[in-house]
Amino acid sequence: MASLQEYLFVSGLLFAIGLAGVLVRRNIIVIFMCLELMLSAANLTLVAFSRFNTGPDGLPDYNGQVLVFFIITVAAAEVAVGLAIIVALYRARQTVDVEDLTSMRG
C-alpha cells in the first residue's frame, strides 16, 4: 500500500495543476474545470488523512471522509450554478475568454 506521503504528493500535484490552470488559461470553462481539479486535490488529501489516522480499534477516522461527501455535494451545486452563469455570460457577451471580460476595470 502506498504511503501517506505519496498520496499527499499526488494531491499537491493535482492542486498545483489546478492552480496553474486557473492562473494561466483563458477559456473560462477550462478555468472552471481546473477549479474542480483543486477541489479534488483537497478531497484526496482528506481521504488520505482519514485512511492513515486509525484509532485504537483499528478503524480509520471517518470524519474526514464525511467531509469529502459534503464537498462533493457542494461542488455539484457549485458546478450547476457556475455553468449556468457561464452560459448566461456567453449569451450576453458571445465570448468565454477572460481577457475580453474587463468591464469591471476601475
Q: Which residues bind other proteins (CB under 8 A)?
A: 19, 22-24, 28, 31, 98, 101-106
Which DSSP state fits 94?
A: S
Residue 95 CB, shortest distance to other proteins, in Å, is 13
Q: Which is nearer to other proteins, 22 or 65 (CB)?
A: 22
Residue 8 CB, shortest distance to other proteins, in Å, is 16
- Return the amino acid letter for 80: A
Which DSSP state fits 54?
A: B
Q: Which is nearer to other proteins, 94 or 102 (CB)?
A: 102
First and final CA of the chain: distance in angstroms?
A: 53
* Burial of 102 from C-beta contacts in 10 A (0-12 / 13-18 / 19+): exposed
Q: Which is nearer to other proteins, 1 or 23 (CB)?
A: 23
